[in-house]
Amino acid sequence: MVDLASRIRKIPDFPKPGILFYDISTILVDPLSFREAIRRIAQLAREFRPQVLAAIESRGFLFAAPLALELGIGFVMVRKVGKLPGTVVSHSYDLEYGSDTLQLADGLVAPGSRALVVDDLIATGGTARATVELLAKVGAEPVGAVFLIELVGLGGMSRLGVPARSVLQFPG
């Protein structure tokens, strides 16, 4: 088995002093590590019996695409304002330093479908929580969330309002 935790590159003081950045690039560049990451995320995702994945921009897309293929289901992209064509559904939310808005293309998630949130990392949980709320807004049933990395000291998983799982845990 591949030791994924040792494959994550840790970059101090990025993007600002005092932050330890967990870089997934070292997983993506190594096909064995990337395959193992997807295999392990898929194990967690199967518990939720999702019908669709909702991937958070942008690193969530990197994991949701192969995960969707592995699970035999589709995925939708949850994006920042102005990145999706056509009619969209928007959801604004507050962050520690201001506010932001997420969007989902209208009509791609069937009402009542079991939707699972996917991202590379969860820290404080603000964007993931907003994604759960956006899914509910379009009539989906948000059943949970999965992440490659959880920064446990920041408590994001407890803020989501749905069950959540992560492959790797690091201090926050």
Catalytic residues: 59, 96
The 10 Å CB-count burial string (b at 16+, else e) for 113-137 is bbbbbbbbbbbebbbbbbbbbbbee
* Tokens of residue 7, six digits: 């494959």
Alpha carbon of 51 to those of 16, 26, 30, 144: distances in Å? 38, 30, 29, 12
Please state, as a whole number, how many other Cβ atoms lie within 10 Å of the Cβ of residue 97.
Answer: 6
Measured CA to CA, the distance from residue 108 to residue 84 in angstroms comes to 12
